[in-house]
A and B are shown apart, each in its own frame.
Chain A
């Protein structure tokens, strides 16, 4: 239980909590970025260096930016419209929190009571770029290609969906 893990876990929890509770969506996104950096730290703590850096690259570098862009392109020009009203104790919010709390209770209970059937090996294996690359090009080459196709499809799909339709452009 290293200090590093505790710090990163704290960052992750704090960031995500802020992301889900701040009223200003921009703050939410920025906190989310912080939280995800924390998650990346958790990955590093687990020895998955490649995944950790990928996490930062993808989430901080792309997803967060994408979300801000989306925000800007929807209501970015009206700052006040962004801020959600305070209604923490409205009916739907309460029911949402209750549901989430329920889920956490069962998941947390399951997590803390879990006992692995086979003991783990103590030494953390290497999961650096080289090992990941070798695995991707050999065992997982088919999934890799599928993911490639998926990303291409998503790229094209996103462009097509987000394009203004004909009459909107004219």
Chain B
């Protein structure tokens, strides 16, 4: 069990927690939060691999994490805006009641 494995394990755990939340919660906002959590777990992976990787001077993992955070922020903004719009339309954020995409 190296430190790297420990970080990866943590990341896997956070990822799974996020996934569980995203799968079981009914509130769209919380589902979104779960997804954010999964992104964070991925970021931990990036940083960990950077830190314990063969070439940490390149800062590749850090850069990737920064960009990932930026993208996550953008995603959150747009996602929440969409939830707002959907709420205005359906008067609910319960995902069980939002199924207009039904085939």
Q: How large is the interface on A (under 10, 10 to 19, 20 to 34, 35 or more residues)?
A: 35 or more
Q: Which residues from A are CB-within-8-Å of B66?
A: 50-51, 54, 132, 136
Q: Residue A118 at the B interface, CB < 8 A?
A: yes
CB-CB nearest in chain A for B77:
A158
Query: Of B5, B25, B56, B70, which one neighbours A147 at CB under 8 angstroms?
Result: B70
B10 adjacent to A97 (CB under 8 Å): no
* CA–CA, A29 and B27, complex, Å: 12
Q: How many residue-residue contacts, CB under 8 A, span A and B?
A: 231
Q: Which residues from B are CB-within-8-Å of A124?
A: 51, 56
Q: Which residues from B are CB-within-8-Å of A35?
A: 37
* CA–CA, A107 and B17, complex, Å: 12
Query: Of A12, A75, A119, which one neighbours B14 at CB under 8 angstroms?
Result: A12
Q: How large is the interface on B (under 10, 10 to 19, 20 to 34, 35 or more residues)?
A: 35 or more
* CA–CA, A46 and B61, complex, Å: 12
B44 adjacent to A42 (CB under 8 Å): yes
A112 adjacent to B16 (CB under 8 Å): no
Query: Of A42, A48, A50, A75, which one neighbours B10 at CB under 8 angstroms?
Result: A42
Query: Of A17, A51, A103, A157, which one neighbours B81 at CB under 8 angstroms?
Result: A157
Q: Which residues from A are CB-within-8-Å of B76?
A: 62-63, 66-67
Q: Residue A19 at the B interface, CB < 8 A?
A: yes
A9 adjacent to B85 (CB under 8 Å): no
Q: Which residues from A are CB-within-8-Å of B83?
A: 70, 74
The smallest beta-carbon distance between B3 and chain A, in angstroms, is 6
Q: Which residues from B are CB-within-8-Å of A112?
A: 1, 5, 8-9
Q: Which residues from A are CB-within-8-Å of B59?
A: 125, 127, 131-132, 135
Which of A's residues lie within 8 Å of B, judged by CB?
1, 5, 9, 12-13, 16-17, 19-21, 25, 28-29, 32, 35-36, 39, 42-43, 46-48, 50-51, 54-55, 58-59, 62-63, 66-67, 69-71, 73-75, 84, 92-93, 95-97, 99-101, 103-104, 107-108, 110-112, 114, 116, 118-121, 124-125, 127, 131-132, 135-136, 139-140, 143, 147, 150-151, 153-155, 157-159, 161-162, 164, 168
